[in-house]
């Protein structure tokens, strides 16, 4: 009687080698991916969040909420501020926040015209999701408004 070869040990070793190769490849791939936190000072920002809630409530109750519109045809974002904010000689900034890539974040000084309108060109901005975070101070009070825009 002829004795046949037993291929089970070779098959088991081959499956284990392939599985280990997959795990090592997946680990190497995942280590090369960029992971951005929401903010570099995330934990400090979280502790100060009650002040942020107060600013947002103050913005709503005082009627200081700006209107933000995106016009693709003109490649611009139009921010219209209430006239009482313009009359109060407010100062602040607009933070353009890109959740998917913090390298694209930038800030623009708040400078509405006499009619309370500020126009920001979007021809240099990458398309996708942006968060506009507006912070300003008027008549000794701090205000905050945040809005999400999708540029395309």
At 32, is the secondary structure helix, strand, or coil?
helix
6-14, Cβ contacts within 8 angstroms, sequence gap of 24 or more: none
For domain 42-151, say whether CATH 2.40.50.140 is its number. no
**Inter-residue contact 102 to 130 (CB < 8 Å):** no
Q: Where are the domains of the chain?
A: 7-34, 42-151
pLDDT digits (tens, 9 = 90+) for 96-152: 999 888 889 999 998 888 788 999 999 888 999 999 999 998 888 899 999 999 998
- The strand order across the sheet containing 141-151 reads 106-109, 91-97, 128-138, 141-151
Partners of 38 in the beta sheet?
none
Q: What is the pLDDT of residues 14-60, one digit of tens each?
A: 999 999 999 999 999 988 887 666 677 777 877 788 888 899 999 88
């Amino acid at each position: 009687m002829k004795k046949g070869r037993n291929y089970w040990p070779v098959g088991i070793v081959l499956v284990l080698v392939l599985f280990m190769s997959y795990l090592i490849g997946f680990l190497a791939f995942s280590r090369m991916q960029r992971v951005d936190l929401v903010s570099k000072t995330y934990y400090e920002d979280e502790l100060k969040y009650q002040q942020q809630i107060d600013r947002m409530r103050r913005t709503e109750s005082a009627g200081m909420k700006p209107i933000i519109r995106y016009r693709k045809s003109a490649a611009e974002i139009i921010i219209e501020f209430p006239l009482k904010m313009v009359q109060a000689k407010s100062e602040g900034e607009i933070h353009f926040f890109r959740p998917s890539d913090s390298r694209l974040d930038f800030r623009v000084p708040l400078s509405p015209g006499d009619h309370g309108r500020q126009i920001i060109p979007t021809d240099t901005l990458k398309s996708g999701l942006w968060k506009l975070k507006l912070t300003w101070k008027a008549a000794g009070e701090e205000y905050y408004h945040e809005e999400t825009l999708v540029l395309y």
